[in-house]
Amino acid sequence: MSDDTRTIEPVNSSPRPKDVTVIVRGEAVRDQDSKLPSNDSQAKDNGKSSPKKVSDAKVKMQSRLPTLDDDSDVGMQKDQVVTRDGKADLAFVGTLLASAAPASAPRGKWQEYRVYGTSGGKHVFSKISRSVYAEDQDAHQAEVFDPSPSSMPSQLLRGARDLVHSEPLTWKNAATDFFGYDPLAKTLYRKLGDEFEEHIS
């Protein structure tokens, strides 16, 4: 047999007919079509391609962003119920002072921020995390700020430095402690007024 003689033998009886071994000058070269996906990668792709089910009601909410269902209630005093996860819901007579939501939610998830004033002089802060996917539950957080001194345990605790200066904790301080300063929180603060800005001279 000369060096140029080539013998082609089937490697195995796999379902891919292109798997062959070629003997070239004494060296074995395996020919595989790397473009064909393996059964494992096909299973992974099939797992990824199944879309999540969406809630029609939540898709409608998403399509109206940044408008919220209760935007028309801003400034109106009425019976309010604020949902909280893991705690009793808050029921009170009060006014929705401001609300904020993002302009869009391209990945199907967004947050809604609201601030209420109660008829008794308290403030309620609400944060809702929503998802258009039916299997995802909305998350509800809420906090009550009571300005009376007897309610100090219910107020957010401050550091020793703040207590030494004896500056009273205001509802605005409590709001920024609850919402922080992300872009949506700043949108909410602008709706509440310029008291949330830091004025310098």
Q: At what angle do helices 171-179 and 183-192 cross, to 10 degrees?
A: 160
- Omega of the bond leading into 149 within 30 degrees of 0 (cis): no
Pairs from 79-82 (Cβ < 8 Å, separation ≥ 24):
80/116, 80/124, 82/114, 82/116, 82/124, 82/126, 82/140, 82/142
Predicted local distance difference test score (pLDDT) of residue 37: 45
3-state helix, strand, coil in the chain (%, to 5): 30, 30, 40
Q: Per-residue confidence of the chain (201 residues) as pLDDT tens digits?
A: 555 545 445 555 445 555 555 454 555 555 544 444 445 444 455 555 568 899 999 999 999 999 999 999 999 999 999 999 999 999 999 999 999 999 999 899 999 999 999 999 999 999 999 999 999 999 999 999 998 755 545 445 555 555 555 556 899 999 999 999 999 999 999 999 888 888 788
Predicted local distance difference test score (pLDDT) of residue 46: 54
Predicted local distance difference test score (pLDDT) of residue 33: 46
Predicted local distance difference test score (pLDDT) of residue 89: 97
135 DSSP 8-state letter: T
